[in-house]
Amino acid sequence: MIEAVDLFCGAGGLTAGLREAGIRVRAGYDIEGACRHAYEFNNGATFVEKDVGQVDKDELDGWYDDGSVRLLAGCAPCQPFSTYNQGRDTTKDEKWPLLGAFARLIKECRPELVTMENVPDVTKHAIYHEFVATLENEGYFVSAGRVACADYGLPQQRRRHVLLASKLGPILIIPPTHVGQPKTVWDTISHLPAIESGECHPDDPLHKASKLNDRNMRRMRASKPGGTWKDWPKDLVTDCHNRSSGSTYIGVYGRMEWKKPGPTMTTLCYGYGNGRFGHPEQDRAISLREAALLQGFPENYQFAPANTGINFRNVGRMIGNAVPVRLGEIIGLSFQSHLEEYRMVAVDRTPHEDEIPV
């Protein structure tokens, strides 16, 4: 059996996907304590609120059972590598050393399997190539490349860099599953009940839309699915759109299209003015639940304890920062296929207490 520890686990997107693929995730590490409920409630794994840089070999080794095939997984925070930071000096960002901490734990613990997921621009930075060199020097076979998530059934036009590494032999991500037949916004959120701008559905606290002011409501009503701000009356066009630097961001304040995958979900995906996050039909921004579904989370995934208020900023950050669940599942299925190829089937082991028949 493959057992995993998920570094930089956040609300559990990667963990949930790995579990869908039949991988037993033992624990997740993250410094954001607000993610604890989402991670533990939905995934049945232990959340450890701790800086990955402070984790040592003995602690990490303690999560794995003897005889298991060990997977160390992680998505180091991507902000220093993102295109959103183009032109900014990110060399002093405190998140830079985290990929190095991940590499240190790989060297010390030597798990059989490793995966890392990040933004495509991570490959433009020396620290990424140092990370790959560490793996290769430690005897790992490494496969890495850009993945179009829509080709694997995620209803989102998201592209990510995915690295898979194995000590067992050459490894590749499984072939695309949905080329030419992507899942769409309609497939994903059309069944949800209608709500108004600023409204929360009484049966689901996450099906909650941010409130549009009067001017943005006029913009919303003037927007067409898949259209741009160029469809609006001139008095609604923002000053930034009239600047040369802003005129290229035609998706901002846009509506999604029913018959296409959604845009990349960000930490501010609940805000109409932060991207193409307008509902295709209703006059509002997408709800937090809709954003979570477009990230591949199950419809019953809970991000905060019942009967507590939903904070747009906190939950939006959890959703936008998450590894899409479907991508996590594809990564997990790739490892399962890899083990089958090399006949590394689950070994006999003493059953856990929750697996012993009563």
Helix (H, G, I), strand (E, B) or coil at 303: coil
Number of separate domains in the chain: 1
Choose between 341 and 334: higher pLDDT.
334
pLDDT at 85 (0 to 100): 43
Under DSSP, the state recorded for 120 is: G
The answer to whether residue 135 sits within a structural domain is: yes
The answer to whether residue 152 sits within a structural domain is: yes
Helix (H) or strand (E) holding 316: helix 312-321
Percent of the chain with pLDDT over 70: 89
pLDDT at 248 (0 to 100): 61
The answer to whether residue 272 sits within a structural domain is: no
The answer to whether residue 139 sits within a structural domain is: yes
CATH code of residue 157: 3.40.50.150
pLDDT at 86 (0 to 100): 47
Q: Which pLDDT tens digit goes with each residue over 205-229? A: 999 999 999 999 999 999 999 998 8
Look up the pTM and report it: 0.89
- Grade residue 190 by pLDDT with cuts at 50, 70 and 90: very high
The answer to whether residue 37 sits within a structural domain is: yes
pLDDT at 348 over 60: no
Q: What are the residue numbers of the active site? A: 78
CA distance 247 to 133: 41
Nearest CA to 178 out of 147, 137, 209 is that of 147
In angstroms, what CA-CA distances link 356 with 20, 105, 167, 168, 352? 22, 32, 32, 31, 7
The answer to whether residue 16 sits within a structural domain is: yes
pLDDT at 346 (0 to 100): 41
CA distance 58 to 63: 9
Residue 102's domain comprises: 2-180+323-349
Mean predicted confidence (pLDDT) in 48-73:
96
In angstroms, what CA-CA distances link 266 with 28, 55, 156, 187, 271? 22, 29, 11, 20, 10
Lowest mean pLDDT among 37-41, 79-83, 121-125: 79-83
Helix (H, G, I), strand (E, B) or coil at 130: helix
The answer to whether residue 203 sits within a structural domain is: no
The answer to whether residue 288 sits within a structural domain is: no
Mean predicted confidence (pLDDT) in 230-256:
79
